[in-house]
A and B are shown apart, each in its own frame.
Chain A
Amino acid sequence: MVFFMFLFEVCFVFWIISVASGPSPYYGVVGLVFGAVFGCLMLVGVGGSFISLVLFLIYLGGMLVVFAYSVALTGDPYPSAWRGYVDLFCMVSYVLFVVGAVMYCFDEWSLEGYGDVVMDASGLFSVRMDYVGVSWFYYYGCVMFLIAGWGLLLTLFVVLDLVRGLAWGTIRSI
C-alpha cells in the first residue's frame, strides 16, 4: 500500500511537471488529465473515496473537457512538444524545487488525521470530517439544491445579458 502511494505520488509529480515545462497547451492538457488521475488515486489512498470520485467527475469530466475544447479552438496549428535541453533543464529545476520545498518544510506537513471520519469540536458537538456530507445535499437538502441551481441559471442569463451589446453593452462601455 505504501508502495502504491509512492508510485501514485511520483507519477503525479511527473505529469504535473510535464504540464509546467511543456511549451504547448495541447500536450499540457494530456499532462493535466493524467496528473488529475493520479491525484485522485492519491486521495483514495488516504481515505477520501467520495471526494476522489467527485474530483474525477467535475474536474476531468467538466472543466478539462471545456478547457480542451477551448484549446482546440484557439491553439496554434503546429504545436511543439518538448524541444530539447531547454525543457529538460526546466523539468530538472522543478523537481529540485519540489524536493527542496518538501525537505525544508518536512516537519510541518503531514497528512495525519486526513482519513478520520468524526472529530470533536471544542466539546460542544461532533463534526463529520469526510466529504460524504456533500451527497446529503442532493437528498435531504433538495430545496437548497434547487435554489442553488436556479441561482446558477440566473447567473448565466445575467452574464449573457451584460455582455450582449458589442460596444454599447453595459460592461463594454466601461
Chain B
Amino acid sequence: MNPHANMIIMSSLILGPMITITSSHWVMAWVGLEINMLAIIPLTGQTTTTHEQFEASIKYFLTQAAASSLLLFSIINNVWNTGQFDITQPTNTLSSTMMTAALTMKLGLAPFHYWLPETLQGTTTMMTLILTTWQKLAPLTLLMMINQSLNTSLLVTLSLLSMMIGGWGGLNQTQLRKIMAFSSIAHLGWMTMILTLSTKLTLLTFYTYITLTTTMLLTIKLLETNKMSTAMTSWTKSPMLNATMMLNLMSLAGLPPLTGFMPKWLILQELTKNHMTIIAATSAILSLLSLFFYIRIAYYSTITLPPNMTNYSQQWRHKNQQKPYLPLMIITSSMLTPIMPTFMMIL
C-alpha cells in the first residue's frame, strides 16, 4: 500500500479504539468505532485473488456499518429518554438492549457471528490477528462501561449460544483461520457470560484470550500453514514451535495447569457464587466441544507424524523471519495460572 495511506490508516487503527476507550460521551465512543472501522476496511481488502478474499472485506464492512448505525440509533434513543450523553449513567431498557445487539454484532457473538469465519479466512494472517484481538477491544470496553444497565439473562443467553456455536461450528472445519474464528466466538461467549457479574473477570478473560490467540496466529504465520493438511507437515519447519503449538492449543481449550484454565475457573467460581450453577455446568460442558477440535489440531500437527518415509527429517534451510517476541508469548500463554492472585490484585 502507498506509504502515506498506510501511515494514516495504521495510526487511525490505533486512534479509533483509544478514542472509544477514553471517552465518556457517547458520540465520541461512536466516532472512535467508526474511525476504527474505516481504517481496517482497506487493510482487509488487500488481497483479491480468490472469490472468498474479496468478499471478506465487504462482509466485514456491511456488518460493522449496520452495527454502528444500530449503536447510533440506540444512543439517540438514550438521549431522548434521559437527556444526557454520559456513558457512565444508567440507560433505559430499550437503549441498553439495542446497544447489546449492536456491540455483540461488532464483536461477532452469536447470533451475529456469521461474518466472522469467512472474514477471518479471507484475509491475511496478520489481519486475522488484528481482527480477533485489537478489534474486540473497543466494543468490549463499551459493554463493560454499561454493564450495570445490561440484562443478565440476555447476556447469559447470548454467551451460551456463542459457546454452542463456537464449539459445534468449529468441529467440521479444516482451515485453521476458521477454527480460530470459532474459538474466538466461544471465548467471547465466556467473556460476556460474566460481564454483568464481574467486569474484572471479563477483562482477565480478554487479556488471556488475546495472549493465546496472538500466540496461535503468530505460530500459524511462522509455520506458513493454514490447513490441517499443511499443519501436519509443519514440524519440519520448526519442531520446537510445533511442540509449543500443542501447549498453546491446550491452553486455548482451558486445560489446567495452563493459562487458559485461569479465567474459566474463576468464571465458574463467580457463577456458582451467584447461584447460577446449572449455567456454570452447561458452559463447562460446552467447552468440551471446542476442546475436541483443539485436540484434533494438536493430534495431527504435534502428537502424530504424517504418513511419510521412515527417514523423515527437519528442513535444513530455515526461514529467517523469526518473531523475537514469540517465545515470551508462548511462556505467557502456558504458565500464568500459578500467579493468578497477582492478576486478581492488578485487575
Query: Chain A interface (Cβ within 8 Å of chain B)?
Result: 124-125, 144, 147-148, 150-151, 153-155, 157-158, 160-162, 165, 168-170, 173-174
Contacts and interface: CB of A to CB of B under 8 A. Distances in A.
Contact of B39 (A124, A154, A160): A154
Q: Is the interface of B mostly helix, strand, loop or mixed?
A: helix
19 contacts: A124-B83, A144-B28, A148-B31, A151-B31, A154-B35, A154-B39, A157-B9, A157-B42, A158-B9, A158-B39, A158-B41, A161-B5, A168-B48, A169-B48, A170-B42, A170-B45, A170-B57, A170-B58, A173-B54
Contacts of A168: 48
B58 A157 contact: no
Among B28, B31, B45, B57, find the residue whose CB has the most chain A CB atoms closer than 10 A: B45
B54 A170 contact: yes
Given A157-B5, A170-B57, A125 B42 contact: no
Interface of B: 1-2, 4-5, 8-9, 12, 15, 19, 28, 31, 34-35, 38-39, 41-42, 45, 48, 54-55, 57-58, 83
A161 B1 contact: yes
B54 A147 contact: no
Contacts of A155: 38
Contact of A160 (B5, B48, B54): B5
A63 to B, nearest CB: 22
Contacts of A124: 83
Contacts of A169: 48
Contact of B48 (A150, A154, A165): A165
Nearest to B46: A170
A161 to B, nearest CB: 4
